Chain A
Amino acid sequence: MPTSEDYKGQVPAWCPGCGNFQILSTIKQALVELGIEPWEVLLVSGIGQSGKLPHYMKCHTFNGLHGRTLPVATAAKLANHPLHVIAVAGDGDCYGEGGNHFLHAIRKNPNITLFVHDNQIYGLTKGQASPTTARGTHTKIQPYGVPSEPLNPLAMAISLDCSFVARGFAGNQEHLKELMKAAITHKGFSLLDILQPCVTFNKVNTFKWYRDRVYKLEEEYDPYNRVKAFERSLEWGDKIPNGIFYKNDKETLEEMVPTIRKEPLVRQKFSIEAVKHEIEKFY
């Protein structure tokens, strides 16, 4: 069985007190508790503070371009589906730069997990508005307030009939760990949006701000009711629900591709003998 030590990577270069620390340690715990070994996991990340997370762990890693985690993760899953493929991204990374991929990855439904470090701000580039920054927030380049409505990732995902939609809070690690485990073990595309304070650039959405607002969805809440899930996903402000909002156990992308139903693509040996007769089709 793996231990947390097996997943130990480099020393993180995040600001002291950053919500990323909790996310990092919670991912490790979730993987350890699920009994998944480091060589069975592929972490795909983009660019931003979240993008550095795989370097602070130990597992297969593809740290690619800003916003492009999902195409890489989707294709890696298609090519090598025995791997647990987890994409980690930021709110700017996934909902801004990679917004189009977010929509279409949900539609394709590969059996991958997406953790979005959602701190409602750009950290790496020092404090600009992100797609989830509240309207009216003052920043260096939006001194009169952000003019755009914030994007609601959960409502968006539910409207696209995403297979698994959840929200957690970095400050509530026990709950976050359970959500991570549920997301990783769910068969289908799983979105876990993680509320996370940026202690340096977001002076509004602090640990205290979140703690005062987040609450868990009720025990009896039915995540298979899409309309209800959509309604609950719209709750934001004084009260912010956390938990699994929506689930739809449907066929995954890999299951829809006949080529890889029997054997992973990566294990299918190529032989010229098998294909060479294709030339005859041109006579």
Chain B
Amino acid sequence: MFLDYTLRIGGEAGQGLQTIGGALAKIFSRTGYHVFTHQDYMSMVRGGHNFYQIRFSDQKVSAYRDMVDILLALDLNTIEIHKKSVRDDGFVLYDSETIKKKFEGPEFIDVPFKKIALDVGKSSIMANTVATGAVLGLFDLGLERLKEILKSAFKKKGAEIIEKNIACAKAGYDYVLSNCPRCEAVEIREPEEKKLMLIDGIQAIGMGALMSGCKFYSAYPMTPSTGILNYLASKAEEFGLVVEQAEDEISAINMAIGASFAGVRAMTGSSGGGFALMVEGLSLAGITETPIVIAEIQRPGPATGLPTRTEQADLLFILYAGHGEFPKVVFEPGTPEQAFYLTNRAFELAEKYQIPVFIQSDQYLGDTEWTFENFDVEHLIYNDYRLREKDLEGVEEYKRYKYSDTGISLLAVPGESGKHLVVADSDEHDEEGHIIEDAETRIKMVRKRLLKKMPLIKKEIEAPLLYGDPSPEIVLVGHGSTYGVMKEVVDILSKDRKIAMMHFSQIYPLSERDRFDYIELLEKAKLAISIENNAMGQFAKLIRAETGFEFTHQILKYDGRPFTIENLKEEVDAYL
């Protein structure tokens, strides 16, 4: 058996769950454990019930489990809600004085977080540091890494605060060591000393944009996409980006288009409701052939829906968004690593074909942190397709929409291209970019902009990933954020079945089938199950529309929560 622990930290918004969880996740990843964290939070700044869950293992982990080994309860509500999820050999760490209730039973470890904080740190604020130390004490993992984190977290507050926090952490650690006889049975193996990087989907998209030469990001804050805005704003001054908080999403996308037209790589992002406001702008990018990248981080709708929860229900909306016909590409990463590389790919295709490209994701992938050994920057692509001064030497008369065999016209930078003028129009236009209404030009432009580009774009799309048995009898088919949980369920079931996962991260257009005929593979399988985080099986509809293949079995989840390993396995088992 490999080591595989799940720790759940629960409490109210504002109690510091993210600080405790973030510190512990970092300690585990720096120790060399593979980590998977997941956040479940309500749409409020104070109160309610939230939890932060950390799974850590000496093997790769990519999903979250219902059952937990350690529950750290910062309030009474947490114990009442999650007690049933604690394993028989698990632990509940809590402070009976704070929550005003004492629990009996071998799993309960009553640690006086607040009293220790007052005694040792002279401040009840440090109770969370005591709790963090207590969790580490349970595993007897040592305090060195927590000390590093406390030193950097409280650097601005001075040496005294740092020392007090370290003392509090140690007191919590020691308290559990000496007051938890059952903890001695906790098995822990230190992995080989190798720090792993810990990154969530949103950060991976942000870093992917930064490393793809994105120079302009405009957005209006909207959960769960705001993290991209935060990440890029924090890098703007150092790396030469302009990050603009727009007055609304209509402005956000028009700004991205304006910046891109003026000569820089530009991106915008939102969730479904905000993206709904961007749709006219999307169509503008389409007809003006302005490259932009759009991140749409889904949350459950309709309308305001469940603001802090997850769903994959905007797929068909994104696919069909924008009035009129124009090419677009939609990527939906399954891991932060895919999010990083696909964001880079999104910029490459947007710039090369002068089209809008989507990074579609959701709250679940956006907020889950994963560990990786590294992201290889050598694999990133950066081709500057924009033409300046000397690039246009020999061009007698520049026409922004000049007809070509590929449908791609030269993209000049206004003001940086000598005397050449760049004219873009949201009206149908001629090669120069001026407004027209005649049928002949219209036909030529539709061919140039859409019909010639589309087959070339399709060739750029990679086939879905097949994981597990190469000629499977059972195939779990999914897209985007269900990657991790499907993979773990396949791992469990592959012991006695010929089973595989087929995962799509490049969902529109679908890849050509000449290199890998994924539809043939589905037809040959005894059972192909489409798995989606929505109520209508939207991806299955897309597959049917594009290939004619119809799924007879689907597993759909639309409660606003992601699949857990246990519940997906149970649903798959029911079909076997």
Contact = CB atoms under 8 A, between A and B. Distances in A.
A267 B416 CA distance: 9
A75 B207 contact: no
A55 B256 CA distance: 23
A185 B190 CA distance: 68
Count chain A CB atoms within 10 A of each CB in B254, B259, B382 and give the residue with the most. B254
A103 to B, nearest CB: 7
A44 to B, nearest CB: 7
A60 B415 contact: yes
Count chain A CB atoms within 10 A of each CB in B239, B248, B419, B423 and give the residue with the most. B423
A266 B251 contact: no
B105 to A, nearest CB: 39
A39 interface: yes
Interface in A111-125: none
Contact of A283 (B197, B261, B433): B197
A278 B211 contact: yes
Contacts of B435: 52, 55, 63
Interface string B47-91: 000000000000000000000000000000000000000000000
Interface in B157-211: 195-199, 203, 207, 210-211
B216 A75 contact: yes
B22 interface: no
A162 to B, nearest CB: 15
A12 to B, nearest CB: 11
Contact of A80 (B244, B248, B262): B262
Contacts of B433: 61
A74 B427 CA distance: 21
Interface stretch (B304-312, B373-381, B560-568): B373-381
B242 A64 contact: no
A266 B480 CA distance: 34
Contacts of B196: 283
Nearest to B376: A279
A24 interface: no
B13 to A, nearest CB: 25
B512 interface: no
Interface string A42-82: 10100100001011001111111100101111111111101
Given A75-B254, A266-B263, A270-B382, A282 B216 contact: no
Contacts of B374: 279
B416 A59 contact: no
A268 B413 CA distance: 13
Given A60-B421, A100-B251, A278 B207 contact: yes
Interface residues of A, number: 55
Contact of A265 (B199, B216, B424): B216
B474 interface: no
A80 B425 contact: no
Nearest to B416: A266
A259 B233 CA distance: 11
Given A79-B259, A82-B415, A282 B203 contact: yes
B218 interface: yes
Contacts of B246: 71, 104
Given A10-B434, A58-B421, A71-B255, A266 B413 contact: yes
A244 B216 CA distance: 34
Interface string B403-419: 00000000001111111
A78 B380 contact: no
A203 interface: no
Nearest to A83: B415
Nearest to B384: A270
Contacts of B391: none
B227 interface: no
A40 B254 contact: no
Contacts of A59: 421
A182 interface: no
B230 to A, nearest CB: 14
B374 to A, nearest CB: 7
A267 B251 CA distance: 24
B254 A64 contact: yes
A75 B244 contact: yes
A38 interface: yes
Given A58-B421, A279-B375, A76 B258 contact: yes
Count chain A CB atoms within 10 A of each CB in B207, B235, B240, B252 and give the residue with the most. B240
B124 to A, nearest CB: 32
A18 B51 CA distance: 65
A115 B251 CA distance: 19
A258 interface: yes
Contacts of A64: 254, 257-258, 284, 288, 424, 426
B242 A257 contact: yes
Contacts of B216: 75, 78-79, 265
B464 interface: no
A43 to B, nearest CB: 9
A76 B247 contact: no
B218 A75 contact: yes
Contact of B425 (A63, A82, A260): A63
A77 B244 CA distance: 12
A1 interface: no
B4 to A, nearest CB: 22
Given A72-B261, A79-B264, A276-B377, A40 B415 contact: yes
B380 A272 contact: yes
A279 B336 CA distance: 13
B420 A39 contact: yes
Given A60-B421, A64-B284, A257-B242, A42 B414 contact: yes
A259 B264 CA distance: 14
Count chain A CB atoms within 10 A of each CB in B30, B258, B263 and give the residue with the most. B258
Contacts of B426: 47, 63-65
B250 interface: yes
Interface in B425-483: 425-427, 433-435
Contacts of A282: 197-199, 203
B193 to A, nearest CB: 13
A279 B373 CA distance: 11
A272 B257 contact: no
Contact of B418 (A39, A63, A276): A39
Contacts of A103: 247
Contacts of B255: 71-72, 74-75
Nearest to B418: A39
A138 interface: no
B195 A283 contact: yes
Given A39-B420, A58-B421, A266-B263, 5 more contacts: A75-B259, A78-B216, A275-B239, A279-B374, A279-B375
21 contacts: A38-B421, A40-B415, A59-B421, A62-B258, A64-B426, A65-B284, A74-B244, A75-B259, A76-B261, A80-B262, A80-B414, A100-B250, A103-B247, A268-B240, A272-B211, A272-B382, A275-B239, A279-B207, A279-B377, A282-B197, A283-B198
| Across the A-B interface, the 6 shortest Cβ-Cβ residue pairs | A75-B258, A72-B258, A270-B213, A71-B254, A75-B255, A104-B247
Interface of A: 9-10, 37-40, 42, 44, 47, 52, 54-55, 58-65, 68, 70-80, 82-83, 100-101, 103-104, 257-260, 265-268, 270, 272, 274-276, 278-279, 282-283
